[in-house]
């Protein structure tokens, strides 16, 4: 007895059809994202997950993946999207028609629109455009999936003929299906990879991006502000400049520079997309427990007396493996000037700072009124680069980077201890930088044939406490004092060097710092969560 084969395509082949359609859809979305004509919904979903993830889970992700957590989450959202479409294809194999694919695509539109709008709220016109864009692209991808499912259905029906037709005898086996699936994957992959590459290049080229003054030389920006009628913007002596850094000791080869270039300055954010905020649209609202609520424009900020201030910024997730620490010449307005204008009420406890995307944090009033806490609008002689907070960010010497809110929009004075984004996820609210010291050189193998000392050095930093002493230990020997470069010890990292004439073979080097208060850096090794890494930097060196 002959048994008729099923007229349905195998689930795996239908899943391939759905996945291939999703590849092309993702490519189209990323191309539109590249020219800023539309969103990339997986990124919006990832942003929402980041904002609403419970503290325990967020901490686990950070500790497990460190600074690969964001890319891993982005990849996971894309994989989940492709998987959903693959499952949809397998389900729709029972209705292998183009109309069923279109219905499948359009049915996703309300959820996709809601996710994108929740991540980046839009006005009415923007929401209408978003709805049309997502609905049409989802429908087209669904139509492609439905078309491929229909072809697979035709293939399955031909295979189920009993007896097979003469025409079918010539192609019996898996070649027809294999060729069909190969074409699907080729089309889907070409659309996905092509869209991703083109979108990435176009976005990197800032195509269709709003114009801003980010990264512009500060004198040019002040001249532009002055030309708009804002008085005193370019008055002589308005900016109190920092004294030039003088070389006091030759750092060993391989040491980092005193000041980090803007390009190399570390970046950590909770969002995949750096906000693009034209300075003409920027406003800073100061409110809460103040006598007078203020709203500052960018020109208002430039009109304020400002200071230049060298300073180091350190991420609370810093480890010796990631080097999330950088130094720059900040330019900005002391925050206390703005708070004095607003009038601070007697019962203020915290000063809350808010940026876009749901990020916020707070600093105690005592830190806010310090003369060294600034509303920074410049780095290394230019306006803030976009990724570093243009038009304005907070810089609080001595506190970890989480407190230094970027893309600052609001300052609220409150009468309680405010818990910000990271505090809600189990990280410290105190955030005082712990003493660190690190080797820049040597690392790995060392050539003993070189005459003289082996270059040995690095940096040390203790926030506003400054650095009193740096010591190095070779193997199990005694701690020996290193030479420390003395300059702005309260705000900037200090470079050190140590004269070492080693013997051949393996060696273990360790470094420790004593801060300005006389406290020696602890050797107790702890992970960054919840209040910053501790422990000594130890390197293994082999002298050949």
Largest CA distance in the chain: 101
The helix or strand, by DSSP H or E, that contains position 360, with its residue range, turns out to be strand 360-364
Q: What average pLDDT score do residues 75-84 get?
A: 96
Better-predicted residue by pLDDT, 323 or 430: 430
Local structure of 34: helix, strand or coil? helix
Q: What average pLDDT score do residues 133-155 get?
A: 92
Please calculate the CA angle 338-492-336 and round it to the nearest 5 degrees. Answer: 10
What phi, psi does 225 have (nearest 5°)? -65, -40
Going by C-alpha positions, the residue among 114, 25, 110, 40 that lies closest to residue 77 is 40
How does residue 1 score in pLDDT terms, banded at 50, 70 and 90? very low
Q: Are 136 and 153 in contact (CB under 8 A)?
A: no
How does residue 512 score in pLDDT terms, banded at 50, 70 and 90? very high
Q: How far apart are the C-alpha atoms of 174 and 182, rounded to whole Å?
A: 12
Which position has the token pair 């894309």? 78
Q: Are 117 and 129 in contact (CB under 8 A)?
A: no
Q: Are 523 and 508 in contact (CB under 8 A)?
A: no
Q: Is the dihedral of CA 199, 53, 67, 275 positive or negative?
A: positive
DSSP 459: E
DSSP 454: B
Separation of CA 430 from chain center: 22
Please calculate the CA angle 91-96-101 and round it to the nearest 5 degrees. Answer: 75
Q: Which pLDDT value is given to residue 65? A: 77
Q: Is the dihedral of CA 440, 441, 442, 443 positive or negative?
A: positive
DSSP string, 119-141: HS---HHHHHHHHHHHHHHHHHH
Pairing of strands 444-446, 537-543: parallel
72: left (phi > 0), else alpha (psi -120 to 50), else beta? alpha
Q: Which pLDDT value is given to residue 96? A: 62
Q: What is the pLDDT of residues 156-192, one digit of tens each?
A: 877 776 555 555 444 444 457 888 899 999 999 999 9
272: tokens are 């995949």
Please calculate the CA angle 379-204-24 and round it to the nearest 5 degrees. Answer: 145
Q: Which pLDDT value is given to residue 228? A: 55
Q: How far apart are the C-alpha atoms of 543 and 139, rounded to whole Å?
A: 65
Q: Kindly give the residue spans of alpha helices, DSSP state H, lying in 205-323.
A: 218-227, 298-303
Q: How far apart are the C-alpha atoms of 509 and 453, rounded to whole Å?
A: 15
Please say if the pLDDT value at position 241 is more than 70. Answer: no
Please say if the pLDDT value at position 231 is more than 60. Answer: no
Q: Which pLDDT value is given to residue 323? A: 82
Residue 421 preceded by cis peptide, ω within 30: no
Going by C-alpha positions, the residue among 54, 69, 71, 64 that lies closest to residue 528 is 64
**How far apart, in Å, are the Cα atoms of 323 and each of 436, 456, 531?**
11, 18, 17
DSSP string, 390-430: TT-EEE-TTB-GGGS-SS--EEEEESS----TTGGGT--SS
Q: How far apart are the C-alpha atoms of 465 and 468, rounded to whole Å?
A: 9
Q: Which pLDDT value is given to residue 2? A: 45
Q: Which pLDDT value is given to residue 227? A: 62
Q: Is the dihedral of CA 258, 261, 262, 263 positive or negative?
A: negative
Choose the weakest-confidence range: 55-69, 473-487, 525-539. Answer: 55-69
Kindly tell me the burial class for residue 210, based on how many C-beta atoms sit within 10 Å of its own C-beta (0-12, 13-18, 19 or more). exposed
How does residue 411 score in pLDDT terms, banded at 50, 70 and 90? very high
Q: Are 31 and 198 in contact (CB under 8 A)?
A: yes
Q: Which pLDDT value is given to residue 233? A: 41
């Amino acid at each position: 007895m002959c048994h008729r084969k099923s007229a349905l395509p195998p689930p795996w082949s239908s899943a391939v059809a759905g996945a291939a359609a999703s590849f092309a859809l993702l490519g189209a979305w990323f191309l539109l994202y590249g020219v800023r004509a539309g969103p990339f919904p997986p990124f919006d979903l990832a942003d929402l997950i980041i904002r609403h993830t419970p503290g325990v889970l967020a901490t686990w992700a950070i500790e497990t993946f460190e600074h690969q957590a964001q890319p891993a989450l982005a990849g996971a959202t894309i994989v989940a999207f492709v998987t959903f479409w693959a499952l949809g294809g397998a389900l729709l194999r029972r209705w292998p028609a183009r109309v069923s694919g279109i219905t499948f695509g359009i049915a996703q539109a309300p959820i996709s629109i809601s996710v994108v709008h929740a991540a980046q709220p839009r006005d009415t016109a923007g929401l209408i455009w978003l709805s049309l864009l997502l609905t049409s692209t989802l429908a087209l991808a669904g139509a492609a999936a439905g078309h491929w499912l229909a072809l697979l259905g035709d293939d399955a029906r031909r295979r189920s003929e009993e007896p097979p037709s003469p025409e079918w005898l010539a192609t019996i086996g898996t070649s027809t299906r294999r060729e069909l699936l190969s074409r699907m994957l080729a089309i889907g992959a070409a659309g996905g990879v092509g869209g991703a590459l083109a979108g990435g290049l176009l976005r990197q080229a800032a195509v269709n991006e709003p114009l801003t003054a980010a990264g512009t030389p500060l004198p040019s920006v002040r001249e532009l502000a002055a030309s708009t009628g804002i008085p005193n913007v370019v008055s002589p002596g308005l900016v109190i400049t920092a004294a030039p850094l003088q070389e006091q000791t030759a750092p060993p080869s391989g040491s980092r520079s005193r000041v980090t270039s803007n390009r190399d300055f570390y970046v950590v954010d909770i969002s995949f997309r750096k906000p693009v905020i034209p300075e003409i649209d920027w406003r800073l609202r100061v409110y809460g427990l103040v006598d007078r609520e203020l709203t500052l424009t960018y020109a208002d900020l430039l009109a304020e007396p400002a200071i230049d201030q060298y300073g180091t910024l350190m991420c609370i997730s810093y480890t010796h493996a990631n080097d999330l620490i950088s130094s720059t010449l900040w330019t900005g307005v002391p925050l206390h000037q703005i708070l004095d204008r607003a009038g601070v009420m007697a019962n203020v406890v915290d000063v809350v700072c808010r940026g876009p995307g749901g990020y916020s944090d707070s600093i105690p009033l005592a830190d806010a009124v310090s003369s060294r806490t600034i509303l920074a609008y410049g780095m290394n002689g230019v306006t803030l680069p976009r990724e570093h907070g243009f038009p304005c960010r907070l810089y609080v010497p001595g506190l970890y980077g989480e407190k230094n809110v970027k893309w600052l929009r609001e300052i609220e004075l409150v009468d309680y201890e405010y818990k910000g984004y990271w505090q809600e996820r189990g990280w410290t609210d105190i955030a005082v930088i712990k003493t660190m010291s690190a080797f820049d050189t040597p690392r790995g193998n060392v050539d003993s044939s070189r005459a003289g000392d082996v270059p040995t050095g690095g940096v040390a930093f203790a926030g506003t406490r400054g650095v009193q002493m740096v010591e190095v230990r070779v193997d199990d020997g005694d701690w020996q004092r290193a030479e420390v470069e003395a300059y702005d010890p309260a705000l900037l990292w200090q470079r050190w060097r140590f004269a070492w004439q080693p013997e051949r073979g393996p060696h273990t080097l360790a470094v420790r710092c004593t801060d300005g208060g006389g406290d020696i850096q602890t050797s107790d090794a702890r992970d960054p969560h919840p209040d910053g890494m501790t422990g000594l930097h130890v390197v293994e060196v082999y002298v050949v």
